[in-house]
Amino acid sequence: MNGQQQRQAEIVKAVALKAQNQPLLGSGLWFHNDIRDNYYYASYLFAAAVESPAILHDPADAKKKAESVLAKVLQLQQNDPDLPLYGHFPLNLNPSPEQARPHELPVELMGSLMAYFYNRYERELSPELREAFETALRHIYLGGFFRKPLQMFNHHEAKYTAAKIIFGQRYEDRELLEDGINSLQKTIVRVTTQGMPEYGALPWFWHWVQAFTCAWELTSDNSLKQHLAELLDYLWNERSLFYLKGAWVGAHSRVWPHDAPADRNVLHDYVQFGDFPLGEDMPRTEYAGFFCYPAPEAARQRALQRQEPSEVHKQIVKIDTGEEIPLHSYVYVTKDFASGGIWERVKEFDNEQIRWLVSFPVTADNSVNQLTFFHPGEGYRDGDPRHQSEYAQVLYVKNRILTVFPVPEDNPHQEIIGILPKGTWIMEEAGLFGQVQNCYVSILLKGRYSVEELDTYNQVRLHGEPAAIAVEVIGLEEAKLLGILNVSSLAEQFDPTSFTMELLGSQKGTITYRGISSQDILELTSGLYSANPK
């Protein structure tokens, strides 16, 4: 058993024990908020019962419990071909599973994973459950949720493509399989030449990985397996560029609450790389414990050997309502932190986006490991940093980030929100100085600010006309060479004139910044940026 397999076994054990110890609801399921969690928990419990029974209290009872939940999940499928969403499952089961209506999302990912589960455990299933799986998979095939053309090259279409290959092979449907192969080839060309339009989008990136890994596992045709491997190699190379010990660094076009301000969607990273501790919080169990496509060695080395800093520049062509929009991302990655984001700001679905981040490694307690400042936008509420407005002009240069926030006077949100990870922080008139893990952080502020200590992070509220910030991050080793031995000496290094603002009119200004790790003067004016060596 190699390291990846050992980490998968660790995940299977952890989820299976949670499932065994979790009491069932009156419906016979564990959860009513999302049908998929029932399916995933039952899959892990069943796998442990047949492959690692010693880890369970009562393996026979665990297997029986898992089969019962799996059967109840399958019973909720829409099995009448004359009704809408034939072959689909409900998503939210409240107030009761019997009243829940079919939803288009669960089968997208769960359907292919069901094919994998059945292929792997068919012989261990009871005759009744074996028949239920056969019937459910045929309903999925005949329902044909995947019979859609490529248009947006997003995570939905990635799952359609993988499902075409999986179900085309399973039911010897040559036309469907050829459609899947053609879609796969177009996807490879699209992402390798123009990038992934869902940049930094979690958990959707993992849906790409899971869907195509599932197809790779179930494919016996060597030529097709090679094409799937080509796409998976691309995906893991992409992941390694934006990887720092479990953190996904840089801009995010979409995120869930468990992706920000703490990276908790880490199971696939943990299996693949294993260079950070796995906490107890596992919000996306899915099938990380079942299969893993080994990343190319170059990607693994890039992710795991961060001794020298690197800069990642990416151009992404985003497709939005038929229009191709070029975007540019930048991130600076060291062994202790990473900083950067997206240069342009575009409208994203549900405005669940993060323009820029300073990221730190994931820790065992899954504490907040992201630092950012933003102006609240559509969908914002306290405690949710995923909803940011367009009122930010940015400059990213290695370990320094400048942002000015030209917020219109009539905007209902006039304050800028800052998210600070827990650490050692001191407040000065010029700004905030702190230590987070193995880094010193300075945040110079233009405007009036206050800091509130919350349970998992510190929140800054900044007011200015306009407000502006300069963030600089330095690893402890580099800081020592600069004579910085603690947070107090960090604060003493900064001259008040190192961060200046010249107002150009209402809500506009030019900011200049000279840090301590570089003598370059950075200047940001109304969205134009320059770095002028002095």
- Residue range 332-354, pLDDT digits in tens: 999 999 999 999 999 998 999 99
pLDDT at 203: 85
Task: Compute the average pLDDT of residues 432-441.
Answer: 98
**Within a 13 Å sphere around the CA of 500, how many CA atoms are in the beta-carbon half?**
10
Task: Compute the average pLDDT of residues 120-126.
Answer: 98
Say if residue 468's pLDDT is above 50: yes
CB 394 within 8 A of CB 341: yes
CB atoms within 10 A of CB 237: 16
pLDDT at 339: 98
Task: Compute the average pLDDT of residues 440-467.
Answer: 96
- Residue range 474-502, pLDDT digits in tens: 999 999 999 999 999 999 999 888 999 98
Task: Compute the average pLDDT of residues 137-145.
Answer: 98
416's tokens: 């800028």
Whose CA is closest to 175, among 155, 153, 151, 146?
A: 146
At a CB cut-off of 8 Å and minimum separation 6, what does 497 contact? none
Rounded (5°) CA angle 201-207-209 = 100
pLDDT at 533: 38
Say if residue 149's pLDDT is above 70: yes
- Residue range 406-430, pLDDT digits in tens: 999 899 999 999 999 999 999 999 9
Say if residue 508's pLDDT is above 80: no
Q: In this structure, which amino acid lies at residue 349?
A: F
Whose CA is closest to 74, among 106, 122, 99, 120?
A: 106
pLDDT at 281: 86
How does strand 356-359 pair with strand 370-374? Answer: antiparallel
| SS3 label, residue 450 | strand
Q: Give percent above pLDDT 70 in the chain.
A: 97
pLDDT at 324: 86
Task: Compute the average pLDDT of residues 44-62.
Answer: 97
End-to-end CA distance of the chain: 56
pLDDT at 321: 64
Alpha-helical segments (H) within 204-266: 204-218, 222-241
Per-residue pLDDT band at 138 (split at 50, 70, 90): very high
Radius of gyration for the alpha carbons in the chain, expressed in angstroms and rounded: 25
Say if residue 235's pLDDT is above 90: yes
What average pLDDT is seen over the chain? 94
pLDDT at 532: 44
CB atoms within 10 A of CB 93: 22
Say if residue 530's pLDDT is above 90: no
pLDDT at 534: 35
Per-residue pLDDT band at 511 (split at 50, 70, 90): very high
- Residue range 260-298, pLDDT digits in tens: 999 999 999 999 999 999 988 888 899 999 999 999 999
CB 205 within 8 A of CB 191: no
Say if residue 504's pLDDT is above 90: no
What is the distance between the alpha carbons of residues 179 and 166, in angstroms, rounded to a whole number?
Answer: 12
